[in-house]
Amino acid sequence: MAQVFAELDDRLIKFMAGQPMFFVATAPCLDPSGAGGHVNVSPKGYRDTFVVLDPLTVAYLDLTGSGAETIAHVRQNGRITIMFCSFDREPKILRLQGTGRVIVPEDADWTEFAVSFPGTGPGTGMDRGSHRAIIVVSIDRIADSCGYAVPRMDLIEERDLLTRWAERKSADDLVAYRVKHNSSSIDGLPALD
């Protein structure tokens, strides 16, 4: 049955590290009641793009993509949920709910957080600017649930399409792409400058 945890312990950290992907959910607040806008859920992959900074703080490397809903929503109201679910033998879902903040490469604390991601150095395909932000989450609720209805699946391999796509782009190409595709959310909220 479901359990709420005071903080991330070694067992929970090991569970998260063993999952090949996680999901991020955010929602905008477009009217004074806090409602309105499109709820967003995004799958995230690639090993070494999620880190536990301390028992109540996590971060993930946000890579260039087709939209920027998470960044826009977090900048607007900070609300975020990260969900891990097991597709292997152990049926388990883990949700981290909290408040996020967006750090972009131009921010003074970018380097402080970027060093936490071992897979972002030279030769990884992520050293040429394909990372557009780091999302840091201060967790206020950690809960698991059974995951009995989640199917068991085998991971064949990680896709390298995003890495190969970014490797073919210059730094200027990536900036131009983000200006065109990542400047605002689908609801018109500002995302990346």
Report pLDDT for 31: 87
Q: What is the pLDDT of residues 144-168, one digit of tens each?
A: 999 999 999 998 988 888 888 888 9
What number does CATH give the domain 3-181?
2.30.110.10
In this structure, what DSSP letter does residue 96 have?
A: E
Token output for 106: 């131009």
Write down the domain spans for the chain: 3-181
Q: What is the spatial distance between Cα 11 and Cα 21, in angstroms, rounded to a whole number?
A: 18
Q: Phi/psi at 137 (nearest 5 deg)? A: -120, 125
pLDDT of 68 strictly over 50: yes
In this structure, what DSSP letter does residue 118 have?
A: G
Average pLDDT over residues 62-67: 86
Report pLDDT for 128: 46
Cβ 98 vs Cβ 139: under 8 Å: yes
Of 100, 84, 92, nearest to 3 by C-alpha is: 92
Cβ 68 vs Cβ 42: under 8 Å: no
CA dihedral 25, 29, 30, 33 (to 10 degrees): 140
Report pLDDT for 1: 63
Q: What is the pTM of this model?
A: 0.90
Q: What is the pLDDT of residues 169-183, one digit of tens each?
A: 888 898 888 889 999
Token output for 189: 């909220």
- 103 to 2, 52, 110: CA distances (angstroms): 33, 16, 6
Q: What is the pLDDT of residues 42-57, one digit of tens each?
A: 999 887 899 999 999 9
Report pLDDT for 4: 97
Q: What is the pLDDT of residues 71-81, one digit of tens each?
A: 999 999 999 99
CA dihedral 66, 27, 44, 145 (to 10 degrees): -160
